[in-house]
Amino acid sequence: MSEIFVRAEATPNPQTLRFVTNRDLTETPADFKAAQETSQAPLARKLFGFPWTAGVYIGRDFVAVTKQDWVDWETLAEPLAGLIQEHLERGETVIHASTAQVASTDDSADVQMIKKVLNEEIRPAVSMDGGDVVFHKFEDGVVYLFMQGACAGCPSSTMTLKMGIETRLKEAVPSIREVVSM
């Protein structure tokens, strides 16, 4: 097996760094806002062991870590990359099998199209910045989404939501009036 690499990359959110690895970590991304949510994610639990951790998002091949305001990335980035790399080198579990929500066959044609565009076009692009966008519901012409990882609290997330995601979803599903983040 080849050597494991982990490198830190900036994201549009100055509070979040994306730690990219040359290994697949999970098939189903997961977002953690508090240590109490990490029972099925040993790596996230380990990261929440630090008092400066405000959030952890585990993507397919990266971990996005959001920090508290009172600490600088200059102090954290290198040791954190090392900790993640060590976790992977030891073969420790990143995240246990997920109970991810599967698309329902009861979804309307509009919801099916919304999920298709999100999964095939938008989510892969957003993951490049260390985040994710998750469908919540479509009701009265409004699409409700959750912004996760680096996207949660990012200064440019409103522009991404309105100028990018909303525009693309309206092209695919003309009945959409608006897209909002929850």
Question: Which domains does the chain carry?
Answer: 6-89 (3.30.1370.70), 109-181 (3.30.300.130)
What pLDDT shows up at residue 103? Answer: 57
CA 34 vs. chain centroid, Å, equals 15
27-80 tens-digit pLDDT: 888 889 888 888 888 999 999 999 999 999 999 999 999 999 999 999 899 999
What pLDDT shows up at residue 181? Answer: 86
What pLDDT shows up at residue 156? Answer: 77
What pLDDT shows up at residue 126? Answer: 80
The rounded distance, in Å, linking the Cα atoms of 62 and 20 is 4
The rounded distance, in Å, linking the Cα atoms of 5 and 23 is 8
Listed as own residue / partner, the contacts of 32-36 with beta carbons closer than 8 Å and 24 or more positions apart are: 32/56, 32/57, 32/58
Which residues in the chain come in under a pLDDT of 70?
1, 97-103
The pTM (predicted TM-score) of the whole model is 0.67
